[in-house]
């Protein structure tokens, strides 16, 4: 029996993630250095793991409240106020989710109606455009430019707005460019957002991983909290990708609506992961600081190495990605990534997979040891020299 015709048109039309294809290729090869994956090389700090064990030993193996354990929501609320001067009621304004991924999905499904336009700033995290489409909305993309250090300009937002625009997705620091927007830049964006009455989905999963400037959380900007759904999680700064834990904070009515979908589709985030996250919130500060310091050293190393090789790369202010130009080599980003993998066994992600403005660049994740990075840069140098 041929079952393809049973697949919904909406899902049939989704493109598979361009990142996966590269991992599958790399997985079949030996001695590959991967700068491909967007995840920490650190193992989750031991005290987080231990608390999860203890919880299991004590029999905490049941569902939690739909919105997540209240103790965890209280700790997240304390963390958001201590770190970002944000005040969220743990009972009404927070929901614990299965990764930031589920928070994005819930937020979009909660607010988007057929015909609504949602602005996505590209190059962007690969999930935004497909999730907007799955929610029934129309993604409208803005292309940030290398000459602006990939910073989103308020005029660009103005130009993208139509009577159908409902929301804008922001990601600061950005994946894949590592671009960091400071307080003044966010304030300028906020003016356009307020004037046009947009809702904001602010993905701040890399908020802890900034290296040069103080971080400003978007909802902490005047008048923005009432129109922002803050999305974050434990995967990146806390080295907890596999635990699948994130959260959303926002206006009580929107969070309650998100919890309605969550209770039917997920019930709750995994209980043992919530216990580990509780420990991360209570006693994770030092681990986060140590990992952040290490990423900063690696950022400095990879950015200066890429520029020396002749791949021009602005200094990314956050996350753990460098996004160098490969235009000088005359290759497309897919050709560059494929040939680099075949010839030198280094995996990077072609910029084209991150949407408009990504062609001509590759994403290099530097969440790997300096030793590995050093070797990867030697190999890339050899590869590039043959083409310049």
Residues 234-293 that bind ligand PMP (CB under 6 A): 235, 241, 246
246/360 with CB nearer ligand PMP: 246
DSSP β-bridge partners for residue 223: none
CA distance 182 to 355: 24
Interface characters, 323-362, with ligand PMP (x: CB under 6 A) = ----------------------------------------
The interface region with ligand PMP, picked from 20-28, 55-63, 99-107, 338-346 by CB under 6 A, is 99-107
Cβ-proximal residues to 10 (8 Å cutoff; 6+ apart), any chain:
133, 134
Strand order in the sheet with 117-122: 94-97, 246-249, 228-233, 199-203, 165-171, 117-122, 138-143
The contact mask relative to ligand PMP for 107-136 (x = CB under 6 A, - = no) is: ------------------x-----------
Residue 174 CB, nearest approach to ligand PMP (Å): 7
For 51, the enclosing helix (H) or strand (E) is helix 46-57
Q: Which of residues 209-238 bind ligand PMP (CB under 6 A)?
A: 233, 235
CA angle (327, 18, 115) in 5-degree steps: 105
Total residues interacting with ligand PMP, rule: CB under 6 A: 13
Q: Which residue has the tokens 């974050």?
A: 232
What does 120-153 look like in DSSP terms, one character per residue? EEES--TTHHHHHHHTT-EEEEEE--GGGTTPPP
Query: Which range binds ligand PMP by CB under 6 A, 94-102, 247-255, 279-287, 296-304?
Result: 94-102
175 binds ligand PMP (CB under 6 A): yes
| 171 is a contact residue toward ligand PMP (CB under 6 A) | yes
101 binds ligand PMP (CB under 6 A): yes
Residue with tokens 């393809």: 4
Nearest CA among 358, 309, 366, 295 for reference residue 36: 366
- In sequence order, the 6+-apart residues with CB closer than 8 A to the CB of 143 are 122, 355, 356, 357
Binding span for ligand PMP by CB under 6 A among 95-103, 139-147, 266-274, 335-343: 95-103
Q: Whose CB is nearest to ligand PMP? A: 99
Q: Which stretch binds ligand PMP (CB under 6 A): 96-104, 139-147, 331-339, 364-372?
A: 96-104
Identify the H or E element spanning 105: helix 99-111
Asked if 165 interacts with ligand PMP (CB under 6 A), we say no
Binding site for ligand PMP (CB under 6 A): 38, 99-101, 125, 171, 175, 203, 205, 233, 235, 241, 246
């Amino acid at each position: 029996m041929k079952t393809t015709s049973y697949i919904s048109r909406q899902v049939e039309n989704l493109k598979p993630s361009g990142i996966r294809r590269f991992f599958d290729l790399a997985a079949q090869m030996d001695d590959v250095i991967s700068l491909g994956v967007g995840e920490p090389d650190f193992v989750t700090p031991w005290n987080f793991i231990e608390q999860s064990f203890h919880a299991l030993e004590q029999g905490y193996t049941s569902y939690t409240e739909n919105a997540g354990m209240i103790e965890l929501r209280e700790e997240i609320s304390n963390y958001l106020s201590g770190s970002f001067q944000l005040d969220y009621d743990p009972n009404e304004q927070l929901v614990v989710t299965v990764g930031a991924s589920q928070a994005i999905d819930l937020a979009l499904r909660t607010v988007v109606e057929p015909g609504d336009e949602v602005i996505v700033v590209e190059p962007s995290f690969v999930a935004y455009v497909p999730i907007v489409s799955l929610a029934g909305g129309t993604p409208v993309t803005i292309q940030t430019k290398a000459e602006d250090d990939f910073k989103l300009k308020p005029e660009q937002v103005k130009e993208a707005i139509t009577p159908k625009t409902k929301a804008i997705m922001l990601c600061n620091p950005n994946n894949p460019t590592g671009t960091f927007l400071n307080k003044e830049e966010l304030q300028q964006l906020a003016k356009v957002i307020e004037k046009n009455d947009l809702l904001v989905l602010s993905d701040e999963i890399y908020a802890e991983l900034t290296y040069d400037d103080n971080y400003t959380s978007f909802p902490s900007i005047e008048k923005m909290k009432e129109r922002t759904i803050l999305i974050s999680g434990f995967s990146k700064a806390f080295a907890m990708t596999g635990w699948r834990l994130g959260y959303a904070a926002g206006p009580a009515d929107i969070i309650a609506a998100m919890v309605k979908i969550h209770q039917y589709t997920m019930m709750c985030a995994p209980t043992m992961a919530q216990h580990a996250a509780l420990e991360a919130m209570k006693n994770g500060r030092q681990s986060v600081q140590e990992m952040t310091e290490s990423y900063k050293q690696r950022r400095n190393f990879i950015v200066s190495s890429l520029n020396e090789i002749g791949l021009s790369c602005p200094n990314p202010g956050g996350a753990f990605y460098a996004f160098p130009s490969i235009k000088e080599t005359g290759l497309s980003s897919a050709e560059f990534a494929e040939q680099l993998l075949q010839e030198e066994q280094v995996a990077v992600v072609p910029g084209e997979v991150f949407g408009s403005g990504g062609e001509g660049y590759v994403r290099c994740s530097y969440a790997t040891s300096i030793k590995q990075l050093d070797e990867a840069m030697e190999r890339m140098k050899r590869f590039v020299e043959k083409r310049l």
